[in-house]
Structure 1
Amino acid sequence: MPPPLLPRLPTSPLKARFLPRILLEFFSSSAKPEWNSNHKLIITHPVLSIMESCNSMAELKQIQAHMTRTGLLAHRFPASRVLAFCVLSDYGDLNHARLVFAQIPDPNTYIWNTMIRGYTKAQLPRSSLFLFCQMIRAHVVMDSRTLVFVLKACEQFSEVFLGEEIHCMIFKLGFDSDLLVQNGLTHFYVKNGLLESARKVFDELCQRDVVSWTTMIDGYSQKGLPDEALRLFYRMLLMSIQPNEVTMITVLSAISQLGHLRLGKLVHEYIRKSDLNVTINLMNALVDMYGKCDCVDSAREVFDSMGIKDVFSWTSMVNAYAKCGDLQLARKFFDSMPERNAVSWSSMIAAYAQSNHAKEALDLFHEMIAMRVKPIDATLVSVLSACAQSGCLDLGRWIYDHFINGKIIKLRMNLANAFIDMYAKCGDIKAAARLFNEMPERDIVSWNAMIMAYAVHGYGKEALILFEHLKSKGMVPDDITFVGVLSACSHAGLVVEGQRHFKDMKSIFGLEPKSVHYACQIDLLGKVGLLEDAYELARSTPMEPDEAGWGALLNACRMHGNVELGKYAGDKLLGLDPGDSGIYVLLSSMYATRNKWDDVKKVRRMMRDRGVKKTPGCSSIEVDGKFHEFFVADISHVRSKDIYLTLDNIYLQLRIEGYVPKS
């Protein structure tokens, strides 16, 4: 609805004296808007008091027209209040603010600051800096707020040097001891991830308030350094600085990363006993902390105690149930949500994808699209993971064409990595390589994904070439990198290279090999027939080999017919997981290749006695975006008769051409 019109303004001088009273009565029921952040400002002028309750540009322009006609707008303070509404109110108009600013003959520091702040709020940092330069050229005396607003503008640039230049200016102008400015500097460096620079500014502060400590604690928490964040919080308490609710939210975030439940409960008790303003955001942080610490009962207790819940409260509970593996309750909470946003949908999709429920994840994604909810990066990362699990290459390609080529979502690094992984696992190695080569910047995850892609597709030499390229770029490989490198050597049968890279892990890069790396080496040695060497490596590992290690040895024994060593590996495997039907199948196959039929019968009898059933073979295919699964002797598909009839025709044509199937 359009805003209500003001009463007709009186034109005679006598009636004009009564105008403020009329307007005051008209706006008496209006709530105080949130655009006026200066709560200490006391305004006694009736017309200006009315403007403080203004909540639309239509109302503001009518009041401004009256102020112009009566000459009130010619004064600096009334003009500054009109300007403040235009740039700070959610109902404001920055273009109108420019016109007002241009008409002020001699704007003071507050007015310049207001315009700079307005440009920053409107995500126009270049305009903020341009106005700041004009302010300098006009020799206007700046104050601490000027520099804080300019630093806020600098945070919106990817280049750090702009903020560093403002830092130099701060020293030259003598603001290096101003707490407000130094807090702004700390926040700037934290926002850009430069924790060393932020800590240097923080340590040089002559005095620190709760904002100083909270900014630095939040920086460590956001950067994935929860231990350092909590150490700083402990120092803050020792300094008798009273934390506020924002401090506690950052502390709870750090505890969530550590999964330290006992510490989380201590902090919760501290919040209960303190005089903190317990906001909905703080309560949400508590729910999130308990969920990430695998204490879903406490998360539910906090959730149930909340008088007001928002979408993040519900989403935190969805995440809590998903993390503890209760997908049914997570979905029940998701379906019960009074409102959902993209984060809510992403959380439930991620829960399915991370639990290998690819079909449910993709079904929910299709439902999300049907509801016209725009996905975010995290949504697509989870959906692409589900595509990789189920082999839905067509859907993965559609996502790229629709969201990336369609300019709906920007292809950031984490999303590009997910696409590479999806393409590789769905068999399109060329698309994975093309996307990798087109990436303007890459992290170690990008390199790992591409190395692993080459490795699993049998391109061992290409994987090793890429590994050398990685090192030449100054990147430091991690343990995941070496899984790809050693897998590549195993697939390509490169024994010498594999042994060299395995030694380099610890001697050059300081990485202690894990069970997965030993499994790769056992697989490498076993595949080329060096079974005794593979066995000795399995026996000499610092940790007991897992299913992958003994499984690699058993498979190698099956390939090369070493029944005695294979039986030993099989016994080790059955001791680790006696319910895995694949172990019995491998053992049976090994015995069958050596015509040891009595042993084959023993394995089958063992399966019957233990109640182990062979997992039926499964194949899948995607047609027009729909996923179809088929098991051995499966007739559940709606078109099973047509499918089997087509297969019979294919077999008939093969026999006509002379094909004889192996027995």
Structure 2
Amino acid sequence: MMPAPLPLPPRARLPSPPLPPPQPRPAWNTNRNLVVTHPLLALLESCASFPRFLQLHALLTVSGLAAHRFPASRLLAFCALSTPPRVDHAAAILARASAPNAYMLATMMRAFLRARLPSRASALFRRVIRESLPADARTLVFAIKAAASEHEHHSPSGGEGVHCVALKWGHVAQSVLVGNALVHFYANHRSLAHARNLFDEMPDRDVVSWTTLVDGYARRGLADEAWRVFCRMVVAGGLQPNEVTLVAVVSAMGQMGLLAFGRMVYRYVADGGVGRSVNLENALIDMFGKFGCAASAREVFDSMAVKDVYSWTTMVNAYAKCGDLESAARLFDDMPRRNAVSWSCMIAAYSQANQPEEAVRLFKAMIEEGVEPINAGLVSVLSACAQLGCLDLGRWIYDNYVISGKAVLTVNLGNAFIDVYAKCGDFDAASKLFAEMAERNVVSWNSMIMAHAVHGQSEEVLRLFEQLKGTCIVPDEITFLGLLSACSHSGLVSEGRRYFKEMKLIYGIEPKSEHYACMIDLLGKIGLLEEAFEVAKGMPMETDEAGWGALLNACRMYGNVEIGEFAADKLVQLNPLDSGIYVLMSQIYASKNKWDQVKILRVLMRERGVKKNPGCSSIEVDGKFHEFLVADVSHVHSEDIYAALKNIYFHLKWEGYVPLT
């Protein structure tokens, strides 16, 4: 209840207008319990228009009321809390206030935060401390939020300083509001250990306190700890979770794979245990999608009273993760509204499912609809370009989005471009981009190392690895796969053996089957078949097709029938319909003039229904792909193509080339 209206100055005395009828409160006026009887102030309480506010402000100034604390606080509240906030006008009102109270100062800080001016909010807080102005818990909460915002923008953070002030004023122990704000600051911007210590020291906690800590652990990927805190909240704390708590818990369950508990949470929500919100239901769809339970995700989706674009996108992603691209595409087509995230999700689904043509087609459709892609979408379509060898599109994306400034060249996007350039053979562009990248991670180095390794440029691979060792980046298993592959291409046995040992001894990386396959290939190519055979038999895991295949190919090169037969038997056990096994073994027998064995293999192939898959190749010309099979005459320019091929064969023979038969 506000005090009686102040008397007007004598020269401004006018008959009081009749009290206006009650008006609905505008959005800025959040104080529902305030009763105002003065006619001008009552009009201000229902004001929703800035031009109207300026008129009322003028009348209050003329009447002398604007100089008093309460009317000034309401004027400031309108400017600070309306949309958009009128920061300069609010600051002018505060500057004219002779003795601002804690509410006015906190409201001004809130206005600065709403206008994304955290540095001005922090400056006002420093003025409060310097001039010993009135302050309360809200002042500290807004100061903490300002410190958090400055931290996000890579500015020096004063969060710890605000914490010290709160301790000095006694608000940490007395105010749950301040304690929650500090726990949130430390959990999201500093140290979870500090957040946990502060949480444990709080004498009183509410559901927000617990939720903040659960969410902090879940966001950092510490799902086990998030789950333990949640259980402690329900059992020891005796508190009922709210929808925000459950969003964090559902995220943790998705990380931990707790499907049974996820279903329990869904039943709790469905039975009305907590208010349903779009965010919570979206989190449930995402959780079921991570578990591969598309049917459960669809059940949540269909039961939603309100769906936003994220609901549709999450459901599309759930289908994609389950491998049901048909349902994902159908739902994507049915979406009432699609944004860049929706398109990126579908493009990524096709790219990851080895359907790069569909990914590229969808990307082009997105561009035609005028949707600007986000970085995640560009990374996905570049992955598809790398699979297809689509260099022209990769260059077009770089020119239209990176050069033009529409997209920021992040580490992930830079790595995607390097991958496209390298796999398409444009090493100059890949090396230039790699050299210009302001920041690199191990994927950046691996992309360059693998690119040179695949093309047999072993010297460049070893040079890059030596450069990598001079950085603070630690090589991983992919790095060594590139190194061993390069050594295998060039027959660098001593270097390959050294790197294979360094993996475990120096870097603590356990070699996987792919690394063993590289060693088998390296030893086999230079004729050390017995040693390669021992490596294959001595692997700590079951030798896979790559390992036995490398050994069989080496036996084909050196005509070793005995080891070749052993490797072929192992490969047939793994994949009896692989025609390559029979072809390689036939070549080994043929090299030793064992034609009877060759005939037996051909009979076996017929009996087992093994057919040799025809060779297939593709080429991109002016952004269009042309695919060819062996002896293919379906292309419109087949006659010209075969004429050119015949000419190439002629020149090869002239140079002394003898084909391997």
TM-score normalised by length of structure 1: 0.87
Task: Tell me which residue corresponds to 1:125.
Answer: 118
Q: Give how far 1:485 is off.
A: 3.3
| Displacement of 1:591 | 4.2
Please state if 1:74 is matched with 2:73.
no
8 Å contact kept, 1:160–1:192: no
Asked if residue 625 in structure 1 is aligned to residue 659 in structure 2, the reply is no
Task: Choose from 525, 528, 531 the match for 1:527.
Answer: 525
Match of 1:610 among 594, 608, 611: 608
The partner residue of 2:194 within 194, 197, 201 is 197
1:83 to 2:76 alignment: yes
Q: Note if 1:368 corresponds to 2:363.
A: no
Deviations 1:509-551, CA, capped at 9 Å, x for gaps:
3333322222222222222222222211111122101222222
1:139 aligns with 2:140: no
| 2:18 matched residue in structure 1 | 18
Q: How do residues 286-305 of structure 1 correspond to structure 2 at under 5 angstroms?
A: 286-305=284-303
Determine the C-alpha separation between the residues in 1 that align with 2:77 and 2:658. 85
Alpha carbons of structure 1 residues 415 and 88: separation in structure 2 relative to 1, 3 Å: farther
Q: Answer whether contact 1:57 1:91 (CA < 8 A) is retained.
A: no
Separation in 2, partners of 1:189, 1:253: 20
Give 1:262 shift. 1.9
Structure 2 match to 1:280 = 278
Partners in 2 of 1:466 and 1:141 — Cα distance?
62
| Equivalent in the alignment of 1:407 | 405
Instruction: Please report how far the alpha carbon of residue 436 of structure 1 lies from its aligned counterpart in structure 2 after TM superposition.
Output: 2.9
Shift of 1:129: 2.6
Residues 398-547 of structure 1 correspond to what in structure 2 (within 5 A)?
A: 398-547=396-545
Measured after TM superposition, the shift of residue 446 of structure 1 is 3.0
Distance, in Å, in 1 between the alignment partners of 2:62 and 2:19 is 13
| 2:559 pairs with 1:552 | no
* C-alpha distance in 1 between matches for 2:489 and 2:423: 16
Q: Work out the CA distance in 1 between the residues paired with 2:33 and 2:579.
A: 74
- 2:8: which partner in 1? none
Alpha-carbon distance between aligned partners in 2 of 1:17 and 1:221, rounded to the nearest angstrom: 58
Query: Within 1, Cα distance between the matches of 2:123 and 2:477?
Result: 48
What are the equivalent positions in structure 2 for 1:352-367 lying under 5 Å apart? Answer: 352-367=350-365
1:600-653 superposed Cα distances (whole Å, 9 cap, x missing partner): 4444444443334433323223333333333334455xxx33353255257458
Aligned residue type for 2:226: A
| Aligned sequence identity (%) | 56
- Asked whether the equivalents of residues 350 and 379 of structure 1 are also in contact (C-alpha less than 8 Å), the reply is yes
Q: Does 1:212 align with 2:226?
A: no
Partners of 1:362 and 1:383 within 8 A in 2: yes
Mean Cα deviation higher: 495-504 or 60-69: 60-69
In structure 2, what is the Cα distance between the partners aligned to 1:658 and 1:415? 45
- 1:273 to 1:438, Cα distance in 2 relative to 1, 3 A: same
Consecutive unaligned residues of structure 2, counting only runs of 5 or more, are 1-11
Equivalenced residues, count: 642
2:154 to 158, 182, 190: 158
TM superposition shift of 1:367: 1.0
Deviation at 1:122, TM superposition (A): 2.6
Alignment-derived partner of residue 331 in structure 2: 333
- Does structure 1 conserve the Cα–Cα contact (< 8 Å) formed by 2:18 and 2:39? no
- Deviation of 1:175 after TM superposition, in Å, equals 3.9
Q: Let me know the Cα RMSD of the aligned residues.
A: 3.1
- Offset, 1:53: 5.1
Tell whether the 8 Å contact from 1:483 to 1:520 is kept in structure 2 after alignment. yes
Equivalences for residues 216-235 of structure 1 within 5 A: 216-235=213-232
Once the two structures are overlaid, the 10-residue window that deviates more, 75-84 or 44-53, is: 44-53
Structure 1: gaps (5+ residues): 1-11
Whether contact under 8 Å (1:56, 1:91) holds in the other structure is no
Could you tell me how far 1:333 is from its partner in structure 2? Answer: 0.3
314-323 or 407-416, which moves further after superposition?
Answer: 407-416
Residue 187 of structure 2 aligns with an amino acid whose one-letter code is: V
1:461 positional shift = 4.0
Does structure 2 retain, via aligned residues, the 8 Å contact 1:618–1:632?
yes
SS class of match (1:620) = strand
The residue number in structure 1 matching 2:6 is none
SS in 2 for 1:628: strand
Secondary structure in 2 matching 1:630: strand
Name the CA distance, whole Å, in 1 between partners of 2:191 and 2:596.
68
Matched, 1:642 2:640: no
Residue in 1 aligned with 2:180?
183
Which digits, 9 at most, give the CA deviation of each residue in 1:440-483, with x for residues without a partner? 33333333333333333333344344444444434333333333
Kept in 1: contact 2:268–2:274 (CA 8 A): no
The alignment's TM-score, normalised by the length of structure 2, stands at: 0.88
Match of 1:363, as an amino acid? Answer: R
CA distance in 2, matches of 1:406, 1:304: 42
| Stretch moving more, 227-236 or 531-540 | 227-236
Secondary structure in 2 matching 1:614: coil
Partners of 1:653 and 1:530 lie apart in 2 by: 35
Given the superposition, is the C-alpha separation of residues 68 and 326 from structure 1 closer, same or farther in structure 2, using an over 3 Å criterion? same
Greater displacement, 137-146 / 351-360: 137-146
Are residues 398 and 553 of structure 1, via their aligned partners in 2, closer, same or farther at CA, if it must alter by over 3 Å? same
Q: In terms of mean alpha carbon deviation, does 400-409 or 448-457 score higher?
A: 448-457
Structure 2 counterpart of 1:154, one-letter code: A
**Structure 1 residue 435: Cα displacement:** 2.7
Task: Give the Å deviation of 1:113.
Answer: 2.2
Q: Does 1:148 align with 2:144?
A: no
Change (3 A) 1:657 1:566: closer
Contact map agreement 1:20 1:47 (CA 8 A) in 2: no
How far did residue 49 of structure 1 move?
5.3
SS across alignment from 1:641: coil
SS in 2 for 1:629: strand
CA distance in 2, matches of 1:88, 1:427: 58
User: Would the alpha carbon gap of residues 657 and 285 (structure 1) be closer, same or farther in structure 2, given more than 3 Å must change?
Assistant: closer
Counterpart-to-counterpart distance in 2, 1:385 and 1:218: 33
Q: Do the aligned residues in 2 keep the contact of 1:294 with 1:320 (CA within 8 Å)?
A: yes
Query: Does 2:103 match 1:110?
Result: yes
For 1:77 and 1:467, the matched residues in 2 are separated by 70
What corresponds to 1:347 in structure 2? 345
- Give me the whole-angstrom Cα distance separating, in 1, the residues matched to 2:651 and 2:487: 43
Task: Report the Cα distance in structure 2 between the residues aligned to 1:441 and 1:43, rounded to whole angstroms.
Answer: 59
Name the residue aligned to 1:3: none
Q: Deviation string for 1:257-297 (max 9, x for gaps)?
A: 23332231133234345631121211111111111101111
Aligned-residue offset at 1:33: 4.9
Cα distance change, pair 493–181 in 1 and its aligned pair in 2 (3 A): farther
1:559, CA displacement in angstroms? 2.6
Quick one: distance in 1 between partners of 2:477 and 2:207? 40
CA contact (8 A) 2:176 2:205 kept: yes
